Amino acid sequence: MLPLSLLQAAQGEEMLVELKNGDTYNGVLVNCDTWMNVNLKNIICTSKDGDRFWKLTECYIRGNTIKYIGVPDKVLDQVNEEDLSKRDRNAMRGRGRGGRGGIGSRGEGRGRGGREGGRGGGRSGGRGGRGAHRGGRGTHAQ
């Protein structure tokens, strides 16, 4: 389970966010983005010492200041069930025609890298590249 998928599943749920400076925010997750920036509403903010409290209607927390996020267990269970159902759906894929190869797959096709080395045969075989053959771009005498 990825952290972002967990956060997205926790939208609308009560959660705890602890910052690197020690302050904690308890509130309802409104939104999160790919950088783990979060919007919370109905927040109670606690100072790092635990001696001061603030009640905020909404706030924005930048993702790189977050140290810890506490999510309810019911959200974890919900995300785990979704992951299991996705695995079951993905397990059914790839069993028909056009699989990914493996034992019993077809031959090498016409692409590069067959038994004969593919097209051209590399630098040593074939017509050669910029070399000493006639008409090439070898040494130039004046």
pLDDT digits (tens, 9 = 90+) for 68-117: 999 988 888 888 777 777 777 777 766 656 656 666 555 556 666 656 55
Give the pLDDT band of residue 122 (cuts 50, 70, 90): low
Three-state secondary structure along 58-127?
EEEECHHHEEEEECCHHHHHHHHHHHHHHHHHHHCCCCCCCCCCCCCCCCCCCCCCCCCCCCCCCCCCCC
What is the pLDDT, as a whole number, of residue 129? 58
Distance CA 51, CA 21 (A): 15
Residue 40 near residue 19 (C-beta atoms within 8 A):
no
Q: Which of these ranges, 8-12, 38-42, 62-66, 81-85, has the smallest mean pLDDT?
A: 81-85
> What domains does the chain contain, in order, with CATH numbers?
10-90 (2.30.30.100)
